[in-house]
Structure 1
């Protein structure tokens, strides 16, 4: 077996100066994210030019073709457009993969079993890798892991799998592993959103948080209120409702849920372009008019339409950064507040709680940004998930009060903060200071946020990756398997970044801050 580099013996700042050889990239240390349990041997297998998918013993019929599509994607990723020559040194030819899925159901529910076992024997005729999973979505993760075991040998012109036999058992640490995209600040075409979904699957992220609308634009069609998308930037920078259905279905087939967000009552200036009565006044245009029943009818219409498209258990209702000054400076709203014995803070609470009730009526659990908890946490629906973003310590308070939480503290997991390095993404721990096991279960996971003020199609992927991958391992890998010393993770993350590049994902170098270009000519593994 080829030698294994021990990254602990390398100086932290010098690892990128070493060109990693092919032999280094063929051992278990290069898997990303690191599985729960890994064992491997010393034999080399050779990739058949006619790889077969078998499902012997499976209860999953694959009538929708999810597994077949995933297998074909995996083969294409592994072969990477190289011309494979059918020449093998011996009979150790890997004929294919046998996938056994126990559940016949391919409905992507939150918290679904994503575990899998992957076995690659070193001997047998015919020789098949075996994947066993309770659900098709665990099998999808297994195929991704399997793809990272295989490499093209540029000397023999064949694909090889080193270090067989392999035995891998794996499952996620957290059920919610998210990435936010923002299509209000800059429009992202449907193929770009799909490319982001594809890239998420490589590091086993499973929730695309779609921050669809904001002050700047309202790009999505709402059939119940068709003038809302008058607030789009232009006629072409829009999503039809069928586009949204297409994106959701595309994501689901990759094991990714789509979380839709409408941020209320703030961040809503664009809503009034089509329906100006939603504004407090034409000169003071947000938040939504708390005194106007039409505001809540529109929210109800949006969520009614969403319930036909976005099948994820949760909807995100925002609730952050609400400046209520327009309510108190608009005479009729001020009068309404007085008549209902409310001040502006009471109005804010009233709006959020009423929006929550509308969402609940459409079958959703609710996610709200942390300001709602900070201001009136004891009044929130028990079906609320509090989304942290302002800083550390919030999750600890949320779960102590019995609510669920998602962690996205901006100093560590905001991708638009270009000074936030991959090291901070990797070391950010969602369970900081939460030691009670029951409370730990209330932390659903975390999310990295790609806010769109300074990104569009031209630079979104290199702003997301590879820093999002660092967070992805924190959310997937068991705590005791996470690197305690960052020297032990650099070479593996560098390898994964180069793998993303090879798969057509414009992942930026690790060296420097987010989205920096390579500083000098050189190997991908040096950057």
Structure 2
């Protein structure tokens, strides 16, 4: 589900050669021009004026009457991020002291699908105010406010332009996710925290952590300690404490962390420590992606239930992803014990898969979790439990059928960041980064004519087959800024030329925060010498903060 076909590769090479031959695609265009403020994602409602309000970082404060620990952490973050573009020159006393007041209706810090993320901002010479119903709405507002503050060179002064400004904003979709794959390449914990920083800058609210795959099992288990024999290296393992650190850090941004343990396919790493879990299918043994769990042995289900009973408290979100993609059903046909079991129960291969998925639903229901699967079992004809959420990765035309049948769906098929030619566009760009236009142009509701309320939202997917922390940022950003806007903003916000200028400005802005996000057209982005490398989180949490946040 993550590879280009050879025909696609041939098409890419041919088109690029033709492009070079014609000398047409390599000609730089004029530098785009636009009027700010340069906000990404663009808010639902924005009113602006023409007055510039000077800001002196030394005379700027953020105030709130809220007692929320999460809000206080973000005030600490953004007090720094507001002025991360560089040191300001000394202002005269003529620049007024300013206070940004944050008002939240509730200090409740419960984080769940559909939590209220709406907010409003008022910015003028008399008032700087954020108003939100929840602390998470206030967190989204702080990011937007950070984008209102601009830094001018060579004067080295900060200001808020285009005042008076009034913003009323809320997300279009309640599920706005990014899949991160640490099963194919281990990602250090600090880098995952960095990823959470970057997701918050673009108002993503789900980290879909594809934490285990055929190549490695990097999750510590006290119930089955030999599982990590399937990790790449003894140091390439996520301990329980590290997982909780990730969960707590995400929560401070209003980002839910949803784990994926991909089964019954992609399960070879499970069998390194516990070989009795795997089916015996010699014809498919050369490709670890093809190896499946032994679904005929009750030991498999006892094992999974015990493991998930241990793991689910670490991931408190209501949703738990069990994969289910790319299951080579014929593998089961080669295992005599599975064939005998299917014969005894009069099961076809699809009915055998049905049995497995039913057991997974029952196990997760007993743990108060809602199961997510990729669309493969549904396409195979498995009758899934009606509460199952189906994530669509390979074909867009099945989405309408899925939601018509009453299932909730997450759209991912059009947002594969690892692809040279993102499906379903089949377009070829001279500049690879210009694929941001493809992501921007595809609406998660494309082709949906009814029952659209059953679409929870969408996810971008950054598969890790050829990716680790070295090049993660440059493949994800700034292209994911386009995706983020498609997931958050009104469906009518589709102007490519306008988006290009705003995304370019925000790419430069997050680069100043330590994100390796590059340009989309010729310009200049001044990066101070002390910009961090991107390997570390903006603000670490103490163990006491982690424990306090996770108790709520």
TM-score (norm 1): 0.87
Check conservation: 1:45, 1:94, Cα contact below 8 A: no
Q: Which residue of 2 aligns with 1:234?
A: 233
Residue number in structure 2 paired with 1:415: 417
Q: 2:91, 2:447 → 1: CA distance?
A: 56
In the TM superposition, residue 236 of structure 1 has moved relative to its aligned partner by 0.8
Contact kept? 2:59, 2:97, Cα under 8 Å = no
Match of 1:54 among 59, 63, 84: 63
CA deviations over 1:283-314 (Å, ceiling 9, x no partner):
55821001111211221122212221111121
The aligned counterpart of 2:440 is: 426
Residue 19 of structure 1 contacts residue 523 of structure 1 at CA under 8 Å; is this kept in 2? no
Q: Counterpart of 2:368?
A: 363
Query: Counterpart of 1:40?
Result: 48
Give the distance between the partners of 1:334 and 1:509, measured in 2 at CA: 56
SS in 1 for 2:50: strand
Q: Equivalent residue of 1:177, what SS?
A: strand
CA contact (8 A) 2:32 2:501 kept: no
Q: Which runs of 4+ in 1 moved over 4 A?
A: 12-16, 282-285
How far 1:72 sits from its partner (Å)? Answer: 2.3
Tell me the residue number matched to 2:315: 310
Is the alpha carbon distance of 1:247 and 1:88 closer, same or farther for their aligned partners in structure 2, counting shifts above 3 Å? same
Tell me by how many angstroms 1:364 deviates.
0.7
How far, CA to CA, are the matches of 1:132 and 1:319 in structure 2?
42
**Counterpart for residue 9 of structure 1:** none
Corresponding residue to 2:452 among 435, 440, 444: 440
Cα distance in 2 for partners of 1:486, 1:41 equals: 24
Question: Counterparts of 2:506 and 2:371 in 1: how far apart (Å)?
Answer: 34
The answer to whether the Cα contact below 8 Å between 2:177 and 2:207 also exists between their aligned partners in 1 is yes
Pair 1:115-2:118 in alignment = yes
Are the structure 2 counterparts of residues 510 and 84 from structure 1 closer, same or farther at C-alpha, using a change threshold of 3 Å? closer
CA distance in 1, matches of 2:51, 2:502: 22
Q: How does 1:80-91 map to 2 (within 5 A)?
A: 80=84, 82-88=86-92, 90-91=94-95
Corresponding position of 1:215: 214
- Contact 2:61/2:79, CA 8 A, preserved across alignment: no
Q: Which residue of 1 aligns with 2:347?
A: 342
Q: Structure 2: how far apart are the matches of 1:508 and 1:336?
A: 55
Give the corresponding residue for 1:399: 403
3-state SS of the aligned residue for 2:225?
coil
- Which of 78, 88, 92 pairs up with 2:82? 78
Instruction: Name the SS for the 1:148 alignment partner.
Output: helix
Q: 1:264 touches 1:352 (CA, 8 Å); kept in 2?
A: no
State the partner residue of 1:374. 379
Return closer, same or farther for 1:332/1:474 CA change in 2, 3 Å cut-off. same
- 341-350 vs 192-201, greater mean Cα deviation: 341-350
Matches within 5 A, 1:119-138: 119-123=122-126, 128-138=127-137
Equivalent position SS for 1:441: helix
Q: Distance in 2 between matches of 1:50 and 1:275?
A: 61
Task: Specify the SS of the correspondent of 2:267.
Answer: coil
Corresponding residue of 2:488: 476
Q: Which residue of 1 aligns with 2:166?
A: 167
**C-alpha distance in 2, partners of 1:371/1:19?**
43
Equivalent residues in 2 for 1:480-519 (5 A)? 480=492, 482-483=493-494, 485-510=495-520
Unaligned runs of 5+ in 1: 1-11, 512-520
In 2, the alpha carbon distance for the partners of 1:250 and 1:428 equals 31
Residue aligning to 2:524: 523
Give how far 1:76 is off: 1.6
> How far did 1:55 drift?
1.6
Aligned-pair CA distance for 1:390: 0.4
> Which sits farther off after the overlay, 360-369 or 326-335?
326-335
Q: Please, what is the CA RMSD of the aligned residues?
A: 2.1
Q: Does 1:464 align with 2:476?
A: yes
Distance in 1 of aligned mates of 2:40 and 2:395: 27
Separation of aligned partners in 1, 2:172 and 2:264: 34
Gaps spanning 5+ residues in structure 2: where?
Answer: 1-24, 423-434, 527-552
| Structure 2: distance between partners of 1:261 and 1:496 | 31
